[in-house]
Amino acid sequence: MIKYTIKEYGTMPDNERYVVGFGLTNTENDRGAYLQCYVPIEGNETKTEAEVCQLAFSGSHDAITGCSGKLEVDPTVIGTEFIPPDM
């Protein structure tokens, strides 16, 4: 199962976009990823932070689900013990 956490929320320096950073964690293997998503400020000035986050998620759905799918299937060495060779 993938757990989504809001790791960042703010306004970009250009003052034209909100930025929402989503942390993704596969709770079964503890693999994680981070994605930044953007929402234009114009037309969304009256939205709550939660509404902006929903817009960011839905607007980046394909990228987010593609990344979360990779967390489930790609093999990784992340989190494994590394034993350096004798040199």
pLDDT single digits (tens) 29-39: 888 899 999 99
In a domain, 87, yes or no: no
Instruction: Please report whether residue 43 resides in a domain.
Output: yes
Q: State the total domains in the chain.
A: 1
Task: List CB contacts of 20: < 8 A, sequence separation 6 or more.
Answer: 6, 8, 9, 36, 37, 38, 39, 52, 53, 56, 57
**In terms of pTM, does the model score above 0.75?**
yes
Look up the domain containing 47 and give its range.
2-73
pLDDT in tens, 47-86: 999 999 999 999 998 888 888 888 877 666 767 788 899 8
More confident residue, 69 or 6: 6
21 in any annotated domain:
yes
